[in-house]
Structure 1
């Protein structure tokens, strides 16, 4: 399995690695870089997207989709994309959703969890993440 990371289209910069689309649609805004490939095995189906599910239900359905595709097919597709580009650079799985906004979540982080469980490879998020909760300064008990 190639080295992987995740990010938004908006926050990605070419020094991060090789940009790979994981979205059903193309970005509708101009990118300052060329997307190197489309990881179709990791792209949520349009039927799943149309359901507008809460995060936990969406992840359940999305994981079912990934399991049906199978880790071997996912690995083969990602290896084929990586083979077309400079070796040693991570594939950066891209989508639109910024994670630093309260309540935002994204299929790319769900895919990263699934792939980590299947392969043992940690997959970092390169975009802005939610700020950790501030520690309590005073005991409120």
Structure 2
């Protein structure tokens, strides 16, 4: 395994695991909080996940594509496609909702906040699943090619 393949497994694995863990374990708990507490929690996550994941997701997708170009296999092609679709879902679905959430200045959640966040949850489950799938496929493709 070369350094690019190692970086791909580590970064794709980190992003896929973090996002899937968020979707499956963190956000179900957030949904049980009072509305204003959900607002506070979501705005807090924008300052943590929101600073790291745009870079991580972009790097994961780029590395998925690079390892596929370097050693094409069906596993890696499907990994790159999965990661690319996850990034597109993020940009089209999650990012606009995150921007709207980040612009809320009141302590009280505005009308429609919960509905907006539930739409975000749908995009989150889709992208997180695609990222985890991308990791699994990349790991099989890289290790299988080693």
* TM-based fold match above 0.5: no
Greater per-residue helix proportion: 2
Greater per-residue strand proportion: 1
